[in-house]
Amino acid sequence: MLDLSQYQSIGAALKDALDQFSNEVCVIESDREREKERLTYRDFKARAHPLAKALEDAGFGAGDRASIIMTNQSKWLISAYAVFYAGGVLVPLDYKLTPDEQWQLLKHSGANALVTEYPIWRQLSEAQGRSTTTNVKTVLVTEAPKSAELRGATRWEGFTGSGEPAFVPRTRQDLAAIVYSSGTGGRPKGCLMTHENYLEQCVALTSIYPFSPGVRYLSILPTNHAIDFMVGFFGPFICGATVVHLRTLRPEYVREAFSKYKITYVSLVPLVLKNLQKGLEARFAELPAGKRKMFNALVAVNRALTKSRPRLGLSRRLLKEVHNAFGGELRAIIVGGAFTEPQTLQFFYDLGIPVANGYGLTETVVAVTVNDLNPFRADTVGKPLPGMEVRIVHPAADGIGEVAVRGKTIMSGYLNEPELTAETIIDGWLMTGDLGRFDAAGHLQLFGRKKNMIVTEEGKNIYPEDIEAAFDGLPVKEFCIFAANYIWPQRSMVGEQLLLALHQEPGQTYTEELCRDISARNGKLLNYKRIHGVVLYEEDFPRTASLKIKRNALREQLAKLDRATAVLPL
């Protein structure tokens, strides 16, 4: 691994890694049964430098911003490296957003360039948002058919420069990336992340979960996801490890990849981990009675012998068939992006498959705390990473209060939002809005949220304000969307739901027709953005002098209602 304390930027570290590990395989790209590409670090450099030179020739330079909207593939990583090499700022966006949402974020971020793939560009080029987003000057499109009309874009494969590009140095305090912590449709929150943020996070994480040549990381989460960007790109590359990308996420091909490529680490969101648990439990239940009894006995033995720490060699011998199904070399599953239920963590640990869970926010690069598995604790999100300070603000009698964090991985602020930044970072401390406490061993436990927000099991941050536009025009006097646990705190990180609070005109009633209207609008939203119920409020919403809804005051009034009877299901 490179000594990152000696580097000023992501680009400089990656540049040296490509030379130091030149003969190692850095990326494998697989599509169903066929391996599409296998690149060494030397190959990767040969692909990336002509792209960096072409960016340089096109006038892209220090501080310019380039967005990537792509599925997981080697061209994502090559493009990101070329941007950093040229001194640029990366704007990774979710390819699953709608085209208009993507254009909104491209405009908000001030991106000069866009790298995307052909199917995505076809939708982007036809969307209304394109006409109002004038800041994007260069569009590069991968894998476009030769006969395709690209509508002002350029083929990525043909965008190359001749000669060696000039490396553009950056400092640790320079902007490295703009990462969006919430969706769109409301108030985009672009986190300003510096090179130091990423360098320090990488040092902290690899001190607990080291990568090295020969380690193979299976990239399933989108590379734009904060977790996968760090542990599926930057972390492996500066350690000479291999990243395996799958162009399909069909379960049978994911299962095959574990054994085919002898995967060492994989990152998942809680929803996928829970589904994997259900699948394994179903297979175990199908075992004949005698085999099932023997299997359960072996699990019990493994649980007893690994109580204090993982013992992978022992677990692989005791539960050989289970571990062989995962390739036989899996060291840990990394899970994050949302809260993971303790029983799911315990299930995998009992099988001898440690799950490295933790706690973090987009505003902190990736992680604030991580379970180091020494010993394994399913009921916590671990201890603070090296270099991170965590404290509990205004704790109640039970020790629970708001979690605040400080360290070199904290963002410098929100893009073009000085007031929001000042509300979120106070005297250097990031106020997370999450409720927690420390136990006697120094492990952080989480107990819900103080802010009007939910995080789905897929790792999606949902701000209710962003969804309200979908209900514009409802035949009611006024409405507002809340996270249910924000109104009625549950001291729980699971079962989070969105609710629509509405106040009707005098004489109006909540009719079947209105319910159908709400349900129809709700059905057009992505599943993780949908509301789960309606709360009828009989008084006018409290408002400011400028007629904005006083959300906190309204929340306090709604909290006086009995949740069990106030919430009308859809």
The string of DSSP letters for 312-345 reads: HHHHHHHTHHHHHHTTS---EEEE-SS---HHHH
Q: What's the pLDDT score for residue 534?
A: 97
Gyration radius of the chain over CA positions: 25
Residue 182: band (very low, low, confident or very high) from pLDDT cuts 50, 70, 90: low
Domain ranges of the chain: 4-261, 269-449, 467-569
Q: What's the pLDDT score for residue 213?
A: 98
Average pLDDT of span 204-231 = 95
CATH T-level assignment (fold) for domain 269-449: Rossmann fold (3.40.50)
Instruction: Check pLDDT > 90 for residue 493.
Output: no
Q: What's the pLDDT score for residue 464?
A: 87
Average pLDDT of span 83-91 = 98
Amino acid found at 151:
R
- Average pLDDT, whole number, for the chain? 94
The alpha carbon torsion through 12, 16, 21, 22 (nearest 10 deg) reads 110
Average pLDDT of span 187-195 = 92
Instruction: Check pLDDT > 50 for residue 544.
Output: yes
Structure tokens at 309: 């720490």
The Cα 90–Cα 77 span in angstroms is: 11
Q: Is 139 exposed, middle or buried (0-12, 13-18, 19+ CB in 10 A)?
A: buried
Specify whether the CB–CB gap between 532 and 498 falls below 8 A. Answer: yes
> Is domain 4-261 annotated with CATH 3.40.50.150?
no
Structure tokens at 79: 């493009």
Residue 185: band (very low, low, confident or very high) from pLDDT cuts 50, 70, 90: very low
Exposure string of 334-364, with b = 16+ CB inside 10 Å and e = fewer, is: bbbbbbbbeebbbbbbbbbbbbbbbbbbbbb
Please list the residues that pair with 334 across neighbouring strands: 267, 356
Query: What would the pLDDT profile of 300-358 be if each residue is shown by its tens digit?
Result: 999 999 999 999 999 999 999 999 999 999 999 999 888 899 999 999 999 999 999 99
Angle at 135 between CA 129 and CA 137, to 5 degrees: 105
Average pLDDT of span 26-53 = 96
Angle at 210 between CA 204 and CA 212, to 5 degrees: 130
Note every long-range contact of 479-484, with CB atoms under 8 Å and residues 24 or more positions apart, other chains counting.
479/503, 480/541, 480/549, 480/551, 480/554, 481/531, 482/452, 482/551, 482/555, 482/558, 483/449, 483/452, 483/453, 483/454, 484/532, 484/533, 484/563, 484/567
Phi and psi at 142, nearest 5°, equal -90, 155
Angle at 427 between CA 424 and CA 432, to 5 degrees: 30
Q: Are strands 89-92 and 65-69 parallel, antiparallel or unpaired?
A: parallel
If you search the block for the tokens 């990326």, which residue do you land on?
A: 27
Amino acid found at 565:
T
Specify whether the CB–CB gap between 295 and 287 falls below 8 A. Answer: yes
Q: What's the pLDDT score for residue 437?
A: 96
Average pLDDT of span 433-446 = 95
pTM of the model: 0.88
> Is domain 467-569 annotated with CATH 3.30.300.30?
yes
Average pLDDT of span 517-538 = 94
Specify whether the CB–CB gap between 481 and 555 falls below 8 A. Answer: no
Instruction: Check pLDDT > 90 for residue 187.
Output: no
% residues pLDDT > 70 (the chain)? 99
Instruction: Check pLDDT > 70 for residue 160.
Output: yes
Q: What's the pLDDT score for residue 41?
A: 98
Q: 103: phi > 0 → left, psi -120 to 50 → alpha, else beta; which?
A: alpha
The Cα 48–Cα 42 span in angstroms is: 10
Structure tokens at 140: 């590069």
The Cα 474–Cα 467 span in angstroms is: 14
Instruction: Check pLDDT > 90 for residue 249.
Output: no
Instruction: Check pLDDT > 80 for residue 186.
Output: no
Instruction: Check pLDDT > 60 for residue 528.
Output: yes
Phi and psi at 287, nearest 5°, equal -65, 145
Please list the residues that pair with 139 across neighbouring strands: 114
Q: Do domains 4-261 and 467-569 have the same CATH topology?
A: no
The Cα 389–Cα 407 span in angstroms is: 6
